[in-house]
Amino acid sequence: MRILAIDSSGQTASLALWEDGLTLADFSIHANKTHSQTLLPMLDAVRKMTELHMETVDAIAVTSGPGSFTGLRIGSATAKGFGFSLDKPIIPVPTLEGLAYNLYGTDQAVCPLMDARRNQTYTGIYEFVRMDGRDEYDMNVIKGQCAVPVEEILYACNQLNRNVIFLGDGVPVFREEICRSLSVPFSFAPAHMNRQRAAAVAALAAKYYEQGKMVPAAEYAPEYLRLSQAERERKERSEGQKL
């Protein structure tokens, strides 16, 4: 089975090619460029270096949100375009689950943090549980992905009574708050594991594929969790006019 994975949910643009348990290509870039400038050149490079024929891809995996509204739309359009043209299914991977999967196998609780502005974070809490009789782990959702004030997720972490490891672009934003508020032992993921990575998305998507968690390209839509800034401002203006 061959999966092409795309993650454009944050500033890091990432693309990976996965086949039968092996990452054939993993291309990530964190730069001041739009994902519309980076994703297709990255795909072209991967395609040439791996001699990939696109019709041999079995499914397209994409982070389904939350995250950057523009980034999610670009990733969604790219995935849907390939899905339509190749007649392949889309495997939606929740962004926070894809991030947490970077730390596959850890015995600590995993708390991804994405900066959602206004002192809020896109976040969740996950753990890895060894499967009976196998040297593999399942990812268990302790707290599903949500958009909340950072104080709320840190309170939830304190209730776990276990070590917590944080990762994501929200870590530098909320680091002082984490250090001030956490009463349980905690740590931060190292640089090579603390941002979106399509290779992790692809590996998790392979599990979802086996579970039948895929949709036709025509039915796929990202999950934003909250309104965009423009939509919020429109709503506030509309409500203000009614008063």
pTM of the model: 0.92
CA angle 92, 172, 150 (to 5 degrees): 70
Residue that the structure tokens 């009614």 belong to: 242
CA distance 10 to 195: 8
Q: How far apart are the first and last CA of the chain?
A: 57
Task: Give, for all 243 residues of the chain, the pLDDT tens digit.
Answer: 999 999 999 999 999 999 999 999 999 999 989 999 999 999 999 999 999 999 999 999 999 999 999 999 999 999 999 999 999 999 999 999 999 999 999 999 999 999 999 889 999 999 999 988 778 999 999 999 999 999 999 999 999 999 999 999 999 999 999 999 999 999 999 999 999 999 999 999 999 999 999 999 999 999 998 754 444 445 444 545 555
Tell how many helices (H) and how many strands (E) occur in the chain: 7, 10
For residues 137 and 129, the answer to whether their CB atoms sit within 8 Å is yes
Q: What is the CA radius of gyration of the chain?
A: 18
